[in-house]
Amino acid sequence: MGKPRSVCTAPGKIILLGEHSVVFGKPAVALAIDRYMTCTVSESDDFLLNGHRASLKKNPHLSRIMDVHGLKGLAVNTDSTVPPSSGLGSSAALSVSFSGAVRTLLGLDASPESMARDGFDAEYYSQGRASPIDSSVSAQGGGVGINCPAELCEPLWRVERDGRVWDVSSVKTPEMTLVVGNTGIKAATGPLVEKVRKYKERNRFASDIVDEMGSLAEAGLRHMSRGDLVSLGACMTQNHKLLSILGVSCPELNKLVKAALPHSFGAKLTGSGGGGSMVALTDSPGAVCDAIRKRGGEPHVVTAGVAGASARFL
């Protein structure tokens, strides 16, 4: 009889509104999408990744979770349809799915909250600064709001770190069609988050932009709760303009957003920026896909609001 194995699958995400500003405790809204990371784990004396000995130092998200749970070795296999460094939450999906698999193997609680907290801790440890939005929506699924008005959401849990407080809630999302356009440019999250932090600290204008993005996310959530996709899309487009002013967009992202807008309610980058992906809210997905493709992007129609992470023994 072989060693016990456990597996966990967690979805990626798109951020509708509020990336970067959410790091500073401002409101934000994210949706789980049908792109997935699956981690399978079993006991091992060494750290094995996809059948090969690997360096824990080069895999900080995994090593952090192993440390927290007192593990020195583990055999880990990963399988993903979430493109890495694309703004679609690949590192959070990895952290959450790994947490769920490890917790199941050890006979520990593998609830959405426990996986989300492990995932956030791993993200924070690896990037130096983060918010819990990616890990929370990957673990919980559906739609997740951060620091949103109580009348628009159902409270889930609270996360506190370094003086910041994030109230995590579930939010109802209307039926909507989203198209993701990937630039193919990989951009690490940590340096971009740090860039915004430094800009905000030394520039009052940047601080005002962060505040405005938080207000925009709250307004967008109100529009979403009423099913007003036209107004929600307008908030998305304005959010992209503010992110561009902060310097986290790039010409390739701007080009794809501009191409999508004539066929969309709104469009914006999603994630930390610097490359990666944009997302368009539309009722003409075919036209948006064609426009993105003509500008050199890789389009995908995604299903949003999918179920969150799920762990089990094999």
Q: Which residues are catalytic?
A: 134
Q: Name the residue among 168, 172, 156 with its Cα closest to residue 131.
A: 168
Does residue 308 sit in helix, strand or coil? coil
CA dist 136 → 40, 217, 248, 263, 271 (Å): 20, 17, 23, 31, 14
Q: Which amino acid is at 78?
A: T
How far apart CA 56 and CA 90 sit, in angstroms, is 18
Helix (H) or strand (E) run with residue 177 in it:
strand 177-182
**For strand 164-171 and strand 143-146, is the pairing parallel, antiparallel, or unpaired?**
antiparallel
Does residue 216 sit in helix, strand or coil? helix
Contact 92, 35 (CB under 8 A): no
Task: Residue count of the chain, please give it.
Answer: 314
Residue 256 sits at φ, ψ, to 5 deg, of -70, -40
Place of tokens 């990957």: 138
Strand partners, 15: 30
Q: Name the residue among 271, 5, 277 with its Cα closest to residue 138.
A: 271
How far apart CA 268 and CA 254 sit, in angstroms, is 8
